[in-house]
Amino acid sequence: MSDGIVAAAVASLAPTLASLLAYTNSRAARREGERNNLGGLAATVDALRQSLHVLEAATGRIEVSVGGLRERVARVEGRLDGASARAAHSGRSPG
């Protein structure tokens, strides 16, 4: 009976080793894939961060331009209000 057990053990050794090697290989491949996905994700996050900085800079420039336009409009409105007030005192229509 011990010959039968030894024969069964020897016969099952090769498939068992093959299964263990296949499992470790698939696990290593999965880990490598996860690393590659994380690398791609990190690159995407960096690209988004750079785009955000560009967008913030553009928004800042627009805010400065809008501030300048507000000042110009206020000056023009002040001139128009001043002309209207002068015209009202002199009895003429502004223009």
User: Which pLDDT does position 47 carry in this prediction?
Assistant: 93
**CA atoms of 34 and 42, how far apart (whole Å):** 12
- Structure tokens belonging to residue 55: 């967008």
Residue 24 has pLDDT above 90, yes or no: yes
For 43-57, how does the pLDDT look when each residue is reduced to its tens digit (9 = 90+)? 889 999 999 999 999
User: Which pLDDT does position 49 carry in this prediction?
Assistant: 95
User: Which pLDDT does position 34 carry in this prediction?
Assistant: 86
The gap between the terminal CA atoms of the chain, to the nearest Å, is 121
User: Model confidence at 41, in pLDDT bands (50, 70, 90)?
Assistant: confident
For 72-92, how does the pLDDT look when each residue is reduced to its tens digit (9 = 90+)? 999 988 887 777 777 776 665
How far is Cα of residue 36 from the mean position of the Cα atoms in its chain? 18
